[in-house]
Structures are given as C-alpha cells and as structure tokens.
C-alpha cells in the first residue's frame, strides 16, 4: 500500500482507506491530531457515534508493529484494562 497523503485534504479520509476498512463506510467528522513527531494522526467520529483514530505510521517502522500493538492491547484487555483495538481490513489484515 502506498503512503497516505493526509496533507491533501485534512478533512477527508483517503478513498483507499475507506475501501479497505468496512468500519469506515459512513460519514465522519475528521479532526487533525496535534504534535505528532513520527506519525500523522486523525481523530474520527462517525454518524453512529463510534470513534476511531486513523494513523499513518512512519516508514521507519515495519508493518509488524501492528502485530505487536494487537498483542499488547489484547493482553491489557484480558486483564480488565480499557484499551483501544486495531480494526482489521476487509482482507483481515492489520494494515
């Protein structure tokens, strides 16, 4: 997947991302994240009230970082801590 161009239109979710993630098939209020040094972040609030964080991870990280994040958040959740979870693509991938 090619890098996402958030700078083109901050209030728009890239079309390729919407196609990849079924959860993003609705209209969203999009807010730019502040202060990120490594990643580009957008906060999304859907018409149905669901909230998402959309983040373009810096190329210095391998795609395997998503597997690590999923393991850590699953571990925390299993121990009763509230945490986010990664949304999988239509193909079941984490990125």
pLDDT tens digits along 20-70: 998 888 888 888 887 677 888 889 998 888 899 888 888 899 989 999 999
- pLDDT, position 22: 87
Residue 94 has pLDDT above 60, yes or no: yes
- pLDDT, position 68: 94
56-95: string of b/e by CB count within 10 Å (b at 16+)? Answer: bbeeeeeeeebeebeeeeeeeeeeeeeeeeeebeeeeeee
Residue partners of 36: CB distance under 8 A and separation at least 6: none
- pLDDT, position 3: 43
């Amino acid at each position: 997947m090619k890098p996402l161009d958030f700078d083109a239109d901050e209030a728009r979710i890239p079309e390729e991302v919407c196609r990849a993630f079924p959860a993003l098939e609705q209209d969203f209020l999009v807010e730019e994240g502040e202060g990120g040094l490594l990643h580009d972040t957008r906060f999304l609030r859907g018409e149905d009230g669901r909230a998402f964080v959309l983040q373009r991870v810096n190329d210095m990280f391998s795609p395997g970082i998503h597997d690590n994040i999923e393991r850590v958040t699953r571990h925390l959740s299993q121990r009763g801590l509230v945490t986010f979870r990664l949304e999988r693509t239509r193909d079941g991938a984490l990125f």
